[in-house]
């Protein structure tokens, strides 16, 4: 049970880490893929 909980916690933390990396290290090509304009994004 201890190992299952550890696996879930580590997996959950990796998901959060990927979100952090995506937010701060976004490239120009990934910004263009979404296609959301600044006024629409501000809503």
Per-residue pLDDT reduced to its tens digit, 4-42: 999 999 999 999 988 888 777 766 655 555 666 677 666
pLDDT of residue 35: 65
Nearest-Å Rg of the Cα atoms of the chain is: 16
Distance CA 23, CA 8 (A): 23
The four Cα atoms 26, 27, 30, 34 give a dihedral, to 10 degrees, of 70
Write the DSSP symbol of residue 25. Answer: S
The span from the first CA to the last CA of the chain, in angstroms, equals: 44
pLDDT of residue 25: 74
| Domain edges within the chain | 1-25
pLDDT of residue 12: 95
């Amino acid at each position: 049970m201890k190992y299952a909980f550890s696996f879930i916690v580590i997996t959950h933390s990796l998901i959060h880490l990927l979100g952090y990396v995506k937010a701060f290290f976004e490239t120009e090509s990934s910004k263009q893929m979404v296609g959301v304009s600044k006024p629409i994004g501000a809503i």
